Structure 1
Amino acid sequence: MINEDARLPQDILHELPGSNAVMKHGVAVDAARWRAELSKRGLPELTGMLRSLDKVSLTRRDVFEIGDRERTAENAFQLFYYSLSWGLGPKVPRLHHRLDNFASHREEASELLVSAWNAARSEEFAKDAFSILTTEDGAGRIPWFGPAFSTKFLYFAQGAAAQPKLLSLDRDIAANLARDAWPDATTDVWVPEVYEQYCTLLTEWADEASQDSSVDRTVRADEIELAITRRA
């Protein structure tokens, strides 16, 4: 379990990237490959920049713009594509397996994604929003869309929120938190209660950083997340 009383590590405090750097944080995406794989399975086409360009540097700001759209089933598919492509990056491991399973569970996935999107924009607890996409045992309710990608969908589903309360979590972050607050961290499966502890911890660390005299500004919780991701 995560120690929610752990203090903000000094190395994280001194490596805060700033909100602009968070929004500009991007990954290389082969949009042409995504379009071809979606077409093979008869899945809805991409819209936006991933439809018009072949090689894209997809930033967090770009995905947040999808999260700011009207919460419809059609847009939920786009948010799924964008958040998943941002999470998978240029190598897109096992993309065919992921899309095969997504296509075979299309109707169920649509309902789950819209429900999760609505929860992310509400005042629901992090564990409740996470539970829509993840079981009590930490398994993805949409096959091949596991807990790490569920957290990314929820994170971007908030849109360009001033202070995100649902945060991205992956194996690198879990490993990098082990020495400070999560000594028994697992790197691939997280149950809803642990995800809520994680979100609470990073929110508290953002508040702590905001009050530090060396910072003198309001720190977003995703700045903490990015600093942890980049931790050596």
Structure 2
Amino acid sequence: MAHGNAVAVADDGLGVTATDLHSLAVPEQLRIDVSGVVPDSYIHGHTIEVVADWWRAELAVHGLDADGVLGPRISRGELFELATDIDGRDEVLRLLWNVLAWGTGSRARHGRNRIRAVAADPDRAADLLHAAARLSRTDPAGAYAVLRPGDRANAIGFLGPSFFTKFLYFAGGGDPDHPCHILDERVARALRDLGWVSLPPRGWSASAYQRYNDLLRSWTGSAGPARSDMVERWLFGR
């Protein structure tokens, strides 16, 4: 598995020459927008309205623990707190449900399909999530590959990169040095607009995910935000 920004070995998933990320200048607007931003409000306080009752009802239908769903508003800070104890099956799945609720907001799009996929074999799903969470602390590409082996099919049905990278990010429990960040289609679109032309709009390779996380850390060091996830949120907002 190739890590880092070396163009000769990188594969972003489009079958074209990978963009040299060293050539991407830090966006000046990023410097301006994050100057003086307080992480506690910008990151920990970032709150989304969710359909908590829908999640509880649907989880109960499939015999899964519905009591742990937060709501009707979930913040990043609350998800970080949930991630401090995910050793058991119920705990890691509780984090997953709340991450999915936060990620889908008031729509719960594909939520039923994701619940069904986990309910088909919750022990297997929990084992995969535990393995990915452990790797997320040191090896973004490896964690990504657990949940999308071979850069092809998702290991858990309907849990694709736009959502399982949210899980990988929150599994860090809010550690500002956690190496995994959220990569979804809005973030990818922003990065393509900023010059990463080899980045696919979706279905990224594990190599691309590693390069993405490396880029965020590089921009953080140059632009000055206190945390690299501030860069992710800024990209999403574009």
TM tier, smaller: 0.7 to 0.9
Paired with 1:126 and 1:3, the residues of 2 have a C-alpha distance of: 19
Q: CA deviation at 1:70?
A: 4.4
Q: Is the 8 A contact 1:2 1:197 kept in 2?
A: no
Number of the residue aligned with 1:201: 215
Change (3 A) 1:139 1:219: farther
Q: CA deviation at 1:113?
A: 0.8
% identical aligned pairs: 27
2:64 to 32, 36, 43: 43
Number of the residue aligned with 2:32: 14
- SS in structure 2 opposite 1:14? helix
For normalisation by structure 2, the TM-score amounts to 0.86
Query: Aligned runs of 1:23-38 on 2, under 5 Å?
Result: 23-38=44-59
Number of the residue aligned with 1:77: 93
For normalisation by structure 1, the TM-score amounts to 0.88
Number of the residue aligned with 1:177: 191
Paired with 1:139 and 1:10, the residues of 2 have a C-alpha distance of: 37
> Which string of whole-angstrom CA distances, capped at 9 and with x for unpartnered residues, describes residues 32-81 of structure 1?
1110000001012232x62xx5xx22110011111111422221111111
2:81 partner amino acid: E
- SS in structure 2 opposite 1:15? helix
Q: Is the 8 A contact 2:55 2:66 kept in 1?
A: no
> Which string of whole-angstrom CA distances, capped at 9 and with x for unpartnered residues, describes residues 78-99 of structure 1?
1111111111111111222221
Give the count of matched residue pairs.
217
Query: Aligned runs of 1:145-160 on 2, under 5 Å?
Result: 145-160=159-174
Number of the residue aligned with 1:57: 73
Paired with 1:195 and 1:75, the residues of 2 have a C-alpha distance of: 26
1:101 to 117, 120, 124: 117
Q: CA deviation at 1:149?
A: 0.9
RMSD of the alignment, in Å?
1.6
Number of the residue aligned with 1:118: 134
> Which string of whole-angstrom CA distances, capped at 9 and with x for unpartnered residues, describes residues 98-130 of structure 1?
211221132210110111122223x3x210111
Q: Is the 8 A contact 2:30 2:223 kept in 1?
A: no
2:202 to 177, 183, 188: 188
Runs of 5+ in structure 2 lacking a partner?
1-17
Number of the residue aligned with 2:229: 222
Q: Is the 8 A contact 1:105 1:142 kept in 2?
A: no
1:38 partner amino acid: L
Paired with 2:210 and 2:195, the residues of 1 have a C-alpha distance of: 14
